Structure 1
Amino acid sequence: MSDRPVENRFSPTADRHRRVALGVSEGELANESGLTVEELRAYEARGADSYDVTLHLRISQILDRFERRQKGLTGYGLI
């Protein structure tokens, strides 16, 4: 068994990792989510114990849109 902690996929850290993996800048995500870059940084720096469900859901939906755009998909199929 590994001593490495398992990352909570609903944590602010997981949201940051997903944003970086998708190649989305802090500015892009902040703009889409209605946050300032500083507010986004503060959110992403939070521990899993100070998790904000509402903000996570908003960010997750925005990252879903970025991912669909990268894959060339819309809500109805291929572009």
Structure 2
Amino acid sequence: MLGILSDLLVEELWKEFFEGFAFPYGFFRAEEHAAFLVEACLKSLRVELFSRDMKHAGKGGSRVDKDNVAAAHGEIAN
């Protein structure tokens, strides 16, 4: 997903909608989280991941104008 997003952010059709956009999330494996704990001098009892929905405040899809929403969905699906 992040690779798709990175590609879309620089495409001529989409880049104007994402000027100044900072993606505040990282997606790490359990092993990477365990390494972060070691670096922070913390001892873990268990490290596991679970999926969750990312919900954002505000109007969904508001960065993309109505004429381009279908094209955006097509880009992501392909």
In which range does the TM-score fall when normalised by the shorter chain? under 0.3
Q: Higher Cα Rg: structure 1 or 2?
A: 2
- Give the TM-score, by structure 1 length: 0.25
- Give the TM-score, by structure 2 length: 0.26
- Which structure has more relative contact order (CA 8 Å, sep 6+)? It is 1
More strand by share: 1
